[in-house]
Amino acid sequence: MKKDSNSYSYELLTRGVKAARVLTVSSLILSLLKLGVGLISNSAVLLSDALHSGSDLLTALTSAIGLKIAGRKPDKGFPYGYYKAENLSSLFIVLLIIYSAYRLTLEGISRIRVFTATKMPIIAVAAALVSLVVSYFVSRHTLKVGSQIKSQSLAANGKERLLDVLSSLLVLIAIVLSYYGVRYVEGAATIIISLLILKVGIETVYNAVLALMDFSPKINSEISDFLDKLGEEIGYGLSFKNLKIRQAGPFIIGEAVARIPEAMNVKKAYELINRVEKLVAEKFNTISFRIFTEPEERRIIKAAIPLMDSKIAEHFARAQDFLMVDADLKDKKIILKKIVKNENKDKKVRAGLSACHFIIDYGVNTLITKEIGEISLNTLSENLVTVLKAESYNPEKVVDDLLNEKLKAITRATRKKE
């Protein structure tokens, strides 16, 4: 089942909003905890981390609002939906993250110059430990949901919250060392935290800008490799080109062109395309992924022509020999001619089926014959061998008609018996 229904996208966005709410509540609690304990204990690094958590609160709120807007149903003004709102919110989140890193850097520099003793270290250490544990579990949950629904804003928040784990550990170490009179440690820890935050901000703004410009090189490469792999696994000479991908919030919209062998019937092609679209939807977060078909014209024809006494045989299965011809239709020339003995002509039953397997194994992609039965025609069709009607008994004339593309395809059995 293809994931192109609105209900599916709304379900994912609802999960994203819930995860953003968890972020918001945890950020509010942690920022208030660090602020209160930082003021009581006179811990500069804890107060800096409270500022950090305050920025987390703003980013979590922004993420929740962006996902909420993205979940609105398409209307006349926005017929393709509001999915890009999530990309815009992630860009705004990045600006807040970068500003937070800037403020923390200034605070860290000032703390290197001025040493402040920490009071009540046990309470400060306990606050840092609580922050570390809460940040760890919230980051895991946020990253998991963000990965599942492909949300840039949640992914940014999840990575930033994962850094909170490291920053809480640095805060913990800084509080202990500061209590024992080690200078510069609070300022140095604050600057390290700010640089880590800045790194996440730069990476996220890069991805957000690319998404807003409908350029997703990583996703495009992943889907392209996946389609190439599918083409090899499915076989039939199936290949893909002109892949176009755009990211709308946490979702992917795209299209591609499948090159279908010329001999493949419509029903078979439809089944293969549906299968590919389903597999892409299962692996990637696509709400719309269409594959258009394009027949692949054969330039090199490897034809088998049944012969009887040096003339075109009435029925290919009982022919004495096969004239194997390799022809270049573009340059209108014969590359190779070879006579091959038909070892199945004397079989009492299933001579046609045996002859089919013989020429298929030989690598033939075209059979030129006067008559053909239903079983043989179906067998050749399933193996993408085109069957053409020979209008003359003269092999040279038939080859000339092949080069000039004058032969017509046989799409229905012309004999009742094989």
Longest dimension (CA), the chain: 109
Tell whether 72 and 140 lie within a shared domain: yes
Residue 69 is assigned to a structural domain of this protein? yes
Tell whether 255 and 348 lie within a shared domain: no
Residue 363's CATH number: 3.30.420.130
For the chain of 418 residues, list the mean pLDDT of each consecutive stretch of 10: 48 70 79 81 71 68 66 68 67 74 77 66 80 82 74 68 75 76 72 75 73 71 85 76 75 79 66 83 73 72 89 86 88 88 82 86 87 85 83 90 87 71
The predicted structure's pLDDT at residue 173: 80
- Opening angle at CA 145, ends 278 and 195, nearest 5: 125
Q: Which of 270, 296, 322 is the last residue of a domain?
A: 296
- CB contact at 8 A, 153 and 62: yes
pTM for this model (two decimals): 0.48
Mean pLDDT of the chain: 77
Domain extent for 364: 300-403
Tell whether 81 and 167 lie within a shared domain: yes
Over the stretch 116-167, which tens digit does the pLDDT of each residue have?
666 677 887 888 788 888 888 887 887 787 777 666 566 766 776 777 777 7
Residue 26's CATH number: 1.20.1510.10
Tell whether 204 and 238 lie within a shared domain: no
Percent of the chain with pLDDT over 70: 72
Over the stretch 304-360, which tens digit does the pLDDT of each residue have?
999 988 899 888 888 889 999 998 888 888 888 889 998 888 787 788 888 888 888
Percent of the chain with pLDDT over 90: 4
Q: Which of 165, 196, 212 is the last residue of a domain?
A: 212
The predicted structure's pLDDT at residue 2: 43
Tell whether 58 and 202 lie within a shared domain: yes
Tell whether 206 and 285 lie within a shared domain: no
Selection from 122, 104, 114 nearest residue 167 by Cα = 104
Residue 319 is assigned to a structural domain of this protein? yes
- Residue 58: both structure tokens together: 């703003």
- CB contact at 8 A, 210 and 216: yes
- CB contact at 8 A, 181 and 188: no
